[in-house]
Amino acid sequence: MLRQTRIAPRVLERDAFGALIDRLAADGRRVIGPTRRDGAIVYAEIAGEKDLPAGWGDEQAAGRYRLRPRADKALFGYAVGPDSWKRWLRPPRRTLWRAKRTNGSFEIVRDDADAAKLAFLGVRACELAAVAALDDALLAGPHPDKAYAARRANALLVAVNCGSPAGGCFCVSMKTGPKAQAGFDLALTEIIDANGHRFMVEAGSDAGVGVLAALPTRKARQADLAAASAVIDGARERMGRTLDTDGLKQRLADRPQDRGWDRIAERCLACGACTQVCPTCFCATVEDHTSLSGNEAERVEVWDSCFTGRFSELGGGQVRETTAARYRQWMTHKLSSWHDQFGTSGCVGCGRCIAWCPVGIDITEEAAAVGAPPEDRT
């Protein structure tokens, strides 16, 4: 269990950053961190600091994502890419059980919870909020997801406060960032200024304190603290988007017939890309497969999306037949009924759905437009 642990921040110089990855690996953890792959930042297993996207940032807008080189060689100079930690906590495809015919009977092999120790390096503040949202959805109910619980319990979270928000970011509006507030074991702030390239490191749990104690750090000076604050303040001021959440929950809930849903549906392809990249979307379906011989079978859990027709099939028919109804379901769940279910927003303001929507549909614009007078709609 994470808890806030009060010890003074320390400073890790850039030249010693590899010691952090080495320490996490020495604890027997698979270290998962940002890498550059296929023109995007993707979370993958890393062997050392050489695997990090040093000197790469990103440019994001509605329907647009590009990596751009940075002159300052920052290790975490990007915002968030299409990937999220849910891929590691709740994989897109997972075998629940297998059955094999042996000696005229069936042997059932259940999926054992993955017990590998993990360390997530580079978790953004909005992503900490997303993990907390997944915890609410997958752990808190009467039937917790045991595989998720095992992965979650085995994951140490190293957050990195944001210094370079993207065009789609609106974590300030959602009160989830850009500074990591809770839910981390360690939190880093990358500082590059006249005093050098370094990281301020704060511990948020006993496990984090243990890792921090083993690193070659020094005490943070006043200049380090001021520089770290400036990084976060700068990010706060450069948010790409805003979303006015005052009254939003009720406004969306009260307007299931709003013309705004139809206007979105005129552009929406119902492709489901927004749900795949969203770090809090957790819907899944199960598929059964049998071998042609009939001797083997398996049940597989696969990510699904409220934009697919089969996902809304109930009693032989679709309860949400139109794209307008599916988009309405998605957005009202994120921004309205999630509050009723879990007491928070289901949207953490990461902006992924904006950048990765192939037609550039922007949740902040659409949420503002639902219920707005026609003359105020963009």
- CA–CA separation, 200 vs 305, rounded Å? 39
Binding-site residue total for ligand SF4 (CB under 6 A)?
Answer: 25
Binding mask 70-99 for ligand SF4 (x = CB under 6 A): ------------------------------
The residue within the footprint of ligand SF4, chosen from 19, 139, 270, 283 (CB under 6 A), is 270
- CA–CA separation, 161 vs 320, rounded Å? 39
| Residues from 330 through 369 that contact ligand SF4 (CB under 6 A) | 334, 347-353, 357-359, 361, 363
Asked if 269 interacts with ligand SF4 (CB under 6 A), we say yes
- CA–CA separation, 331 vs 375, rounded Å? 22
- CA–CA separation, 172 vs 179, rounded Å? 9
Shortest distance (Å) from residue 282 CB to ligand SF4: 11
Shortest distance (Å) from residue 291 CB to ligand SF4: 34
Shortest distance (Å) from residue 70 CB to ligand SF4: 24
Phi, psi at 367, each rounded to 5°: -65, -40
Q: How far are the Cα atoms of 173, 276, 284, 351, 363 from residue 357, in angstroms, in the given order?
A: 21, 10, 20, 10, 10
Q: How far is CA 199 from the centre of its chain?
A: 22
**Of 21 and 278, CB closest to ligand SF4:** 278
Length of the chain: 378
- CA–CA separation, 2 vs 5, rounded Å? 9
Binding mask 223-262 for ligand SF4 (x = CB under 6 A): ----------------------------------------
β-pair type (155-160, 40-45): unpaired
**Of 217 and 364, CB closest to ligand SF4:** 364
User: Which one of 17-25, 29-37, 183-191, 271-279 is the stretch in contact with ligand SF4 (CB under 6 A)?
Assistant: 271-279
Interface contacts to ligand SF4, rule CB under 6 A: 268-274, 277-280, 307, 334, 347-353, 357-359, 361, 363
